[in-house]
Amino acid sequence: LHIPKKTHQPKVMRPDDANIVGNVHGGTILKMIEEAGGIISTRHCNTQPGDRCVAALARVERTDFLHPMFIGEVAHVSAEITYTSKHSVEVQVNVLAENILTGAKKVTNKATLWYVPFSLQNVDKIIEVPPIEYASLEQEEEGKKHYEAQKLERLETKERNGEMIQPVLSPEPFTVGISQSSLIHLVGPSDCTLLGFVHGGVTMKLMDEVAGIVAARHCKTNIVTASVDAINFHRKIKKGCVVTVSGRMTFTSNKSMEIEVFVDADNLVEADKGQYRAVTAFFTYISLDREGKPLPVPPLKIENEEEQKRFEEGKSRYLQNKAKRLAEKERQ
Amino acid sequence: LHIPKKTHQPKVMRPDDANIVGNVHGGTILKMIEEAGGIISTRHCNTQPGDRCVAALARVERTDFLHPMFIGEVAHVSAEITYTSKHSVEVQVNVLAENILTGAKKVTNKATLWYVPFSLQNVDKIIEVPPIEYASLEQEEEGKKHYEAQKLERLETKERNGEMIQPVLSPEPFTVGISQSSLIHLVGPSDCTLLGFVHGGVTMKLMDEVAGIVAARHCKTNIVTASVDAINFHRKIKKGCVVTVSGRMTFTSNKSMEIEVFVDADNLVEADKGQYRAVTAFFTYISLDREGKPLPVPPLKIENEEEQKRFEEGKSRYLQNKAKRLAEKERQ
Amino acid sequence: LHIPKKTHQPKVMRPDDANIVGNVHGGTILKMIEEAGGIISTRHCNTQPGDRCVAALARVERTDFLHPMFIGEVAHVSAEITYTSKHSVEVQVNVLAENILTGAKKVTNKATLWYVPFSLQNVDKIIEVPPIEYASLEQEEEGKKHYEAQKLERLETKERNGEMIQPVLSPEPFTVGISQSSLIHLVGPSDCTLLGFVHGGVTMKLMDEVAGIVAARHCKTNIVTASVDAINFHRKIKKGCVVTVSGRMTFTSNKSMEIEVFVDADNLVEADKGQYRAVTAFFTYISLDREGKPLPVPPLKIENEEEQKRFEEGKSRYLQNKAKRLAEKERQ
């Protein structure tokens, strides 16, 4: 039997995958994407003699949610390895929503993920990735360009380690203080890979959950994930940790909200290792009416200089992404 | 086919039901207890013509965790209706842990729960409970005494509505500030009864989860639930709410910790209904070494008058429960 | 994008899918098989104008578990429509376990399922199935033969409606009474299809769970599912029901145990509909030592005539299946 470098994974969406209006959570989709990517990279990195290994998620490129997905639809997740460096694997994942009653299909996501293989014998050792064969020299060079670009971006990312979300006493409506939220989650065995570290997809699902609550608290309507900025996974989270996921609104445009999300891990048992920041990311949400049409978003009320600074940074990310989308459309 | 007033429900304990050492979470057991109680009361209240109904949890009496339960053991949950008033049902639930490999069995819990049946046609209407037959006049009178006692206690309970857990900047080890924790949970369809309200057992599981994190943060060891005080469910929590569950340590004895837990519900969609306190309770935890023997608990460092007041109240609850246990032992 | 008449569905096995020794539960595999079959049949039956529909499981042919599957392995479930009658669809499902660390693959199951499409507009109406194209006339005739054979068998199956498992006071080791078990499960929204009926796969998973408890109680060792007899789904189970799943041992050979499993549904809310028998089946289990080698099974101690009768019937099923397996081997 031949196991290909591609994988295809259909799954029916259940009530528990969605909000009360029936929209599948962005976090559920991110988790499926990461699962498919994890399977294909782990399989590829074990096609050689030597140490057995598990591929751990290192980075997800910016991902747009092009269409909503609903309960009862079948999500088709296809993954393909598109580039390999000495120590990392690039995976392209496409998600298609199929309404098996009407036969209608629509592409909901296209994502690019980077994985790094860690040895099962020594969980701190990164093993070498077997090279893939490229269809053309062009394809290989294109892949190399992506690789160098993400490497640079990874180095630039700061973990914002010192920053914590501080509560605000009696906050007013539409301020940062009134919608900021955090949850704690005790890491269980089902959350972890064979290495005993939390699946990247589990972390992203928690992040989307918090971002969704922040967005709903701000505009009190049905909200859905519109996009996620590139996410770098700087540090692994171990089984038995308590994870604190916090979110706060940074920016609002006419029809969208940007929410910054922090993930902090706290090893209760090996207390000397202390609490550390594991991941940060920006989620963009939109607000929908009963027919699924976008609604205007109430503007964020800024209360101090720091919030103003974060708002400006959010605005510049928003304008950059808008410009990028326009440029892509023109190219097509 | 005859439907008895008793029910018996075995379930195998899985890795996700337990902590990393293998001890089944107290919250998992509370959830199973409530499920069995809910089934038997709903069944009983539908054995008459008229409105169809679902029994909602109104109160759980103080419950001790007599023995730990482990992954792989079968939990046997038996429930029996022991008293009915015009609008409520008393259910006794016993939990037995069976090691199916050695055949060893031990009683882990005995709990008493009160349910109130709400109409499916009109979720605000409480329907009348069909009376049960008692084995003896004595049994009926005993039941009535319990009923009156819990009714009185229910009325006395205050919801502590104003109180919120305030964060502490740079807290010191073993203070109240360093271990206090809260989580948010978006209520999904699987959390709810046919009426669209959260199962009492789901709420208790979240409460135990937060209490466990507070206890682990305080003493950094393997901790297990030892008992839960009587819990009154004052207000129902609806599908689509965000639930905030917060816990803080109130008291420590040599070998136990008391944690106060608040449950606040926040209806994002019907925002005018506002946030309200749904449940409060006290959980007692103990700390165990690798062999499962109780460890001394580091004393709680008190930092202000309010904490001192709560500590004294916790101490008096602790002494009362100790006296009650001793009295029961002597009676046997 | 082209969605084929075949589907392929990989999934990583997690700790909760397996027992404490790491063997994936037969019930988990049956649930994945049914999920794949349900997707492909529902899709096929909606490829025509008219009522939208959901395919409900009507029957599973006898299924062998050829190899154990372990935590961390990837289960590949492929499904293909192989025959259609006017009102039913035959689906062949293959399951392959892939160890992505070593690259080893083994076929674990080959199953045949029958689905019947019910209208979403009127849940009691069965709609017509669009015909498939056969590769050859031979293939079509082969399919028709299967179809007629299963139709006959379906009619013959008796539901054994009156029979209940009665508890035995102080049962002795290795008797039927000591290992018989039952569990109850409250049907939630995630257990159900769009029609509001329980997925066939969810029911089979519960059946396997009870059969596994019976087998473990009998021989106190690591036990795994070896095969399941043909299962007919006579009556649908609705959301809000309580399901009681009961199992008792009927027969033991040197190296295997046969367990009969009953599924009774109880509509708590529409109590007048009464309790009814929804499904019955026979599961065969084997006992394994620490290296995964089969162990001898302690002989079942028969205590009365009825048990003797069931034992003889089990023996004849056992001998028939053995003869069938031998005949198949010779043919190859």
Rounded distance, CA B28 to CA B17, Å? 6
Is residue B191 predicted with pLDDT exceeding 70?
yes
Distances (CA, A) of B100 to A58, A169, A248, C326: 43, 54, 49, 35
Is residue C271 predicted with pLDDT exceeding 70?
no
Test the A interface: residue of B268, B269, B285, B295 with most A CBs within 10 Å: B268
Is residue C2 predicted with pLDDT exceeding 50?
no
Measured between CA atoms, the residue of chain B closest to residue C221 is B101
Q: What are phi and psi of A122, to 5 degrees?
A: -145, 100
Q: Choose among C330, C284, C290: nearest CA to C66.
A: C284
Looking at the structure, tell me whether residues C20 and C150 fall in a common domain.
yes
DSSP of B261-292: EEEEEEESSSGGG-EEEEEEEEEEEEEE-TTS
Q: What is the mean pLDDT of residues C64-90?
A: 92
Residue C196 burial (10 A CB sphere; 0-12, 13-18, 19+): middle
User: Is pLDDT larger for residue C258 or for residue B104?
Assistant: C258
* Mean pLDDT for all residues in chain B: 89
CB A254 within 8 A of CB A311: no
When pLDDT is cut at 50, 70 and 90, the band that residue C116 belongs to is: very high
Q: B125, B156, B187: which is the final residue of a domain?
A: B156
Looking at the structure, tell me whether residues C233 and C113 fall in a common domain.
no
Can you give the pLDDT at residue B2? 39
Is residue B3 predicted with pLDDT exceeding 90?
no
Domain count, chain C: 2
Q: Which chain C residues have any C-beta within 8 angstroms of a chain A C-beta? A: 1, 3, 7-12, 14-16, 35, 38-39, 42-43, 46-47, 52-53, 71-72, 74, 96, 98, 100-103, 105, 120, 189-190, 194
Asked if residue B229 is part of any domain, the answer here is yes
Rounded distance, CA C188 to CA B172, Å? 45
Q: Choose among A6, A16, A19, A17: nearest CA to A94.
A: A6
- The per-residue pLDDT for range A19-32, each reduced to its tens digit, is 877 899 999 999 99
**What are B104's two structure tokens?**
């060893």
Looking at the structure, tell me whether residues C118 and C199 fall in a common domain.
no
When pLDDT is cut at 50, 70 and 90, the band that residue B160 belongs to is: low
Lowest mean pLDDT among B130-134, C182-186, C286-290: C182-186
Rounded distance, CA C134 to CA C129, Å? 15
Is residue C48 predicted with pLDDT exceeding 60?
yes
Is residue C297 predicted with pLDDT exceeding 90?
yes
Low-confidence ranges of chain A (pLDDT < 70): 1-5, 157-162, 269-273
Q: What is the mean pLDDT of residues B92-120?
A: 92
Give the CB-side neighbour count of residue B53, counting CA atoms within 13 A.
Answer: 29
Asked if residue C163 is part of any domain, the answer here is no
Question: What's the one-letter identity of residue B150?
Answer: Q
Asked if residue A66 is part of any domain, the answer here is yes
Looking at the structure, tell me whether residues C152 and C241 fall in a common domain.
no
Can you give the pLDDT at residue C119? 93
- The per-residue pLDDT for range B263-294, each reduced to its tens digit, is 999 887 666 667 888 999 999 999 998 888 99
Looking at the structure, tell me whether residues C209 and C319 fall in a common domain.
yes
Q: Which chain A residues have any C-beta within 8 angstroms of a chain C C-beta? A: 1, 3, 7-12, 14-16, 35, 38-39, 42-43, 46-47, 52-53, 71-72, 74, 76, 96, 98, 100-103, 105, 120, 189-190, 194
Q: What is the mean pLDDT of residues C246-267?
A: 95
Lowest mean pLDDT among B217-231, C8-22, C23-37, C313-327: C8-22
Asked if residue C162 is part of any domain, the answer here is no
Distances (CA, A) of A239 to A187, B11, B33: 6, 25, 28
Q: Whole domain around residue C203: which residue ranges?
A: 176-331
Looking at the structure, tell me whether residues B280 and B144 fall in a common domain.
no
Q: What are phi and psi of C189, to 5 degrees?
A: -60, -35
- Angle among Cα A80, A83, A87 to the nearest 5 degrees reads 115
Task: Give me the CATH number covering residue A245.
Answer: 3.10.129.10
Q: What is the mean pLDDT of residues C48-59?
A: 92
Cα-atom radius of gyration of chain B, to the nearest Å? Answer: 20
Q: What is the mean pLDDT of residues C58-68?
A: 92
Q: Choose among A248, A204, A270, A229: nearest CA to A64.
A: A229
User: Is pLDDT larger for residue C73 or for residue A190?
Assistant: C73
Q: Choose among A251, A212, A14: nearest CA to B268.
A: A212
**What are A208's two structure tokens?**
């989307």
Given the residues A17, A23, A191, A208, select the one marked as catalytic. Answer: A208
Rounded distance, CA C130 to CA A126, Å? 53
Distances (CA, A) of C329 to A46, A290, B44, C67: 35, 61, 55, 17
Q: Choose among B148, B78, B136: nearest CA to B111.
A: B78
Total count of residues recorded for chain A: 332
Looking at the structure, tell me whether residues A190 and A322 fall in a common domain.
yes
Total count of residues recorded for chain B: 332
Q: B124, B156, B188: which is the final residue of a domain?
A: B156
Can you give the pLDDT at residue C1? 33
**What are B258's two structure tokens?**
């008391």
Helix (H) / strand (E) element for A208: namely helix A200-219
**What are C71's two structure tokens?**
């935590």
Residue B328 burial (10 A CB sphere; 0-12, 13-18, 19+): exposed
* Mean pLDDT for all residues in chain C: 89
Residues of B in contact with A268 (CB under 8 A): 213, 216-217, 220
Give the CB-side neighbour count of residue B213, counting CA atoms within 13 A.
Answer: 26
Can you give the pLDDT at residue C329? 83
Can you give the pLDDT at residue B159? 56
Min Cα separation C273/chain B (Å): 11
Measured between CA atoms, the residue of chain C closest to residue A106 is C1
Asked if residue C78 is part of any domain, the answer here is yes
3-state percent helix, strand, coil for chain A, nearest multiple of 5: 30, 35, 35
Asked if residue B139 is part of any domain, the answer here is yes
DSSP letter at B21?
A: T
- The per-residue pLDDT for range C188-219, each reduced to its tens digit, is 888 888 888 999 999 999 999 999 999 999 99
Looking at the structure, tell me whether residues C118 and C232 fall in a common domain.
no
Min Cα separation C1/chain A (Å): 8
Can you give the pLDDT at residue B271? 62
Asked if residue A165 is part of any domain, the answer here is no
Is residue B155 predicted with pLDDT exceeding 70?
yes
Looking at the structure, tell me whether residues C326 and C213 fall in a common domain.
yes
Sign of CA dihedral C187, C189, C193, C199: negative
**What are C35's two structure tokens?**
């999920």
Residues of A in contact with B186 (CB under 8 A): 19, 209, 212-213
Q: Choose among B210, B291, B215: nearest CA to B247.
A: B210
Asked if residue C124 is part of any domain, the answer here is yes
Is residue C3 predicted with pLDDT exceeding 90?
no
Looking at the structure, tell me whether residues C149 and C244 fall in a common domain.
no
Q: B107, B122, B156: which is the final residue of a domain?
A: B156
Looking at the structure, tell me whether residues A324 and A196 fall in a common domain.
yes
Q: Choose among C69, C27, C71: nearest CA to C209.
A: C27
**What are A116's two structure tokens?**
């790094």
Reduce the DSSP state of residue A88 to 3 states and report it.
coil
Min Cα separation A254/chain B (Å): 21
Looking at the structure, tell me whether residues B126 and B79 fall in a common domain.
yes
Q: What is the mean pLDDT of residues C321-332?
A: 86
Q: Which chain A residues have any C-beta within 8 angstroms of a chain B C-beta? A: 15-16, 19-20, 166-167, 181-186, 188-190, 209-210, 212-213, 216-217, 220-221, 239-240, 242, 266, 268-269, 271
CB C194 within 8 A of CB C54: yes
Q: What are phi and psi of B185, to 5 degrees?
A: -140, 125
3-state SS, one letter per residue, for A212-235: HHHHHHHHCCEEEEEEECCEEECC
Rounded distance, CA B133 to CA B5, Å? 10
Rounded distance, CA B92 to CA B90, Å? 7
Q: What is the mean pLDDT of residues B114-142?
A: 92
Q: What is the mean pLDDT of residues C71-79?
A: 89
Q: What are phi and psi of A62, to 5 degrees?
A: -50, 130
